């Protein structure tokens, strides 16, 4: 189906619609487990297409308890299709708008569509992470037990100017890359700080990494009540 370039809209009350009214569309759109648990109907509206004829839509909204992101879906009732999705961060700012202008259902793709042909003149090299070769198909390409990989050593200052040598870490380290302008940075760091606290007896340490100035990082952490130790690399010396 095609979303009209313009149209005339009229809104009607949401009423009492059960989940069955939009189950088909959402289950076709993505994994049901990814939807907010409190997903509910907030309104319905009718769009009059330029070529004539009305289409009816249900608008659903929910907030994920873990991510804090609010998701809104527009479901086209006649065709059971999700035509629009909007994602807002914890502060209510729009993080993404996804508009689906055309959807093809029950499409069968030939295996050849996923065949990889290396560019002419390239040379095959061994993978640097020691992981098995990726492949298409139903079999998951990676082992059930993660492969232990020794990371490269590096030394960087944290936000307070103290030097941190990665190799000298005494226990397991979670290295997280973030920036102050990322909408989910606060939620990400809050979750990792709780993770670190819950595994403190095991010696788990969370280290942040950013290329922003230390004064910017310190103010961001202070303002949001965070204590994360973050490594500062404005020159991108660690690749």
**228 with 165, same domain?**
yes
Q: Check pLDDT > 50 for residue 208.
A: yes
Q: Is residue 136 part of a domain?
A: no
Q: Is residue 17 part of a domain?
A: yes
Q: Is residue 219 part of a domain?
A: yes
Residue 103: name the closest of 80, 121, 125 by CA. Answer: 80
Q: Is residue 130 part of a domain?
A: no
Number of domains the chain is built from: 2
Q: Is residue 40 part of a domain?
A: yes
Q: Is residue 117 part of a domain?
A: no
Q: Check pLDDT > 80 for residue 216.
A: yes
**75 with 157, same domain?**
no
Instruction: Domain of residue 171: give its range.
Output: 152-239
The confidence score (pLDDT) of residue 17 equals 43
The confidence score (pLDDT) of residue 10 equals 40
Point out the least confidently predicted range of 79-83, 176-180, 190-194.
79-83
Q: Cα–Cα distances in Å, from 89 out to 50, 106, 155, 201?
A: 34, 33, 34, 33
**90 with 13, same domain?**
yes
The CATH number of residue 156's host domain is: 3.40.30.10
The confidence score (pLDDT) of residue 6 equals 41
Indicate the residue among 58, 82, 99 that finishes a domain. Answer: 99
**230 with 165, same domain?**
yes
Q: Check pLDDT > 80 for residue 226.
A: yes
Q: Is residue 181 part of a domain?
A: yes
The C-alpha angle with vertex 63 and arms to 60 and 65, in degrees rounded to 5, equals 150
Q: What is the pLDDT of residues 71-84, one digit of tens each?
A: 888 888 877 778 88
**90 with 12, same domain?**
yes
Residue 208: name the closest of 198, 196, 199, 200 by CA. Answer: 196
pTM as predicted: 0.41
For 154, counting Cβ atoms within 10 Å of its Cβ (0-12 exposed, 13-18 middle, 19+ buried), the class is middle
């Amino acid at each position: 189906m095609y979303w009209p370039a313009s149209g005339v809209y009229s809104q009607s009350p949401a009423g009492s619609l059960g989940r069955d009214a939009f189950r088909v569309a959402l289950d076709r759109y993505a994994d049901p487990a990814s939807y907010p648990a409190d997903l509910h109907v907030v309104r319905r509206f009718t769009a009059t297409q330029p070529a004539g004829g009305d289409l009816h839509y249900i608008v659903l909204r929910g907030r994920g308890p873990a991510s804090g992101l609010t998701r809104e879906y527009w479901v086209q009732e006649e065709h059971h299709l999700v035509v629009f999705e909007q994602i807002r961060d914890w502060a209510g700012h729009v993080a993404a708008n996804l508009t689906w202008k055309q959807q093809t259902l029950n499409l069968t793709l030939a295996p050849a569509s996923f065949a990889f042909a290396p560019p002419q003149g390239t040379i095959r090299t061994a993978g640097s992470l020691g992981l098995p070769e990726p492949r298409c198909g139903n079999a998951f390409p990676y082992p059930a037990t993660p492969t232990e990989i020794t990371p490269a050593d590096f030394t960087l200052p944290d936000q307070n100017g103290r030097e941190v040598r990665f190799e000298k870490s005494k226990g397991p380290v979670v290295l997280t890359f973030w920036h102050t302008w990322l909408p989910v940075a606060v939620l990400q760091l809050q979750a990792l700080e709780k993770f670190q606290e819950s595994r403190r007896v095991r010696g788990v340490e969370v280290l942040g990494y950013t290329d922003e100035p230390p004064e910017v990082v310190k103010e961001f952490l202070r303002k949001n009540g965070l204590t994360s130790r973050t490594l500062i690399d404005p020159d991108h010396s660690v690749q």
